Amino acid sequence: MKEMNIPKEIPEKVKKTVQNRDHRRCVVCGTPIFEYYPLKKFYTEKPSSSNVVLLCPKHFKEARKGSLSEESLEEARLNPFKPEKSRLGEYEIDFQSDVVQLKIGSNHLMRVFMKEKDSFAAIKYRNFPIVKLEKKKEGLTLTICMIDNKNNITLLIVDNEVVIATLNWTIEYQNNNLIIEDEDKEYKLQLVIDSTNNEIVLTQDSFFFKGKRMLNLPPSNPFEKPKTITRTKGDGIVIG
């Protein structure tokens, strides 16, 4: 089946309605990293929440290739994936605390979100945020930018929405673990979100900016007690 041409614009009002309806999760599997997928009727009807669904990158690709039928997507729109309450944390980035302890390698930072929409650039290259956390009404959102060694943006996630993905990325979120990895395993980022202890552990490998390797962190141990915790009102690790 030939891939559909994805329209350039879905109205912001429609996006907001779809996010609320689908609980900011893939309607098929519940993954909280998503893309907007227009159903076939989007092309013949006025854009509305009835012809757009949220899909994770995996199911988005399957839908475009025809592996997911239009009927199954329509059924998922009407009955989106709903995890059991006891397993809710496996399917959403549940971080309600105003205090976050961020572990990046041997660095342990504490940040207090003073107000809604307060953001925290966990990793920054000069004035360019690479990994950013933002506290919103619906919870914690992530903005992540992955750049290759030729300074091309290969992945851009803004507030949990995949905006750009030029490589064949695998993006998985299971049991509070977000793993982002390209097909050749050259670029990788991992976040462990521990809402019980108000901690976020960031592990990454082969991270580039302007053709230079930025960080090559060893895996962080989420059970390791920090020697010191630096309280910050600004950003996390600033490079360059």
Q: Give the whole-number percent of the chain exceeding pLDDT 70.
A: 73
Asked whether residue 120 is assigned to any structural domain, the reply reads yes
Over range 4-28, report the average pLDDT: 82
Note the pLDDT tens digit of each residue in 87-113.
Answer: 444 555 666 677 778 777 777 777 777
Mean pLDDT of the chain: 76
**What DSSP element (H or E) covers 102?**
strand 99-104
Which of 136, 73, 104, 133 minimizes the C-alpha distance to 214? 104
pLDDT score of 53:
96
Asked whether residue 3 is assigned to any structural domain, the reply reads no
Note the pLDDT tens digit of each residue in 180-237.
Answer: 888 887 777 888 877 777 778 776 555 666 666 665 544 444 444 444 444 455 677 7
Q: Does 71 have pLDDT greater than 80?
A: yes
Give 162 or 126, the one with higher predicted confidence.
162
| In a shared domain, residues 129 and 73 | no
Q: Does 62 have pLDDT greater than 50?
A: yes
Q: Which domain holds residue 43?
A: 12-87
| In a shared domain, residues 36 and 144 | no
Note the pLDDT tens digit of each residue in 166-176.
Answer: 878 888 877 77
Length of the chain: 240
The 3-class secondary structure across 29-56, one letter per residue, is: CCCCCEEEEECHHHHCCCCCHHHEEEEC
| In a shared domain, residues 215 and 114 | yes
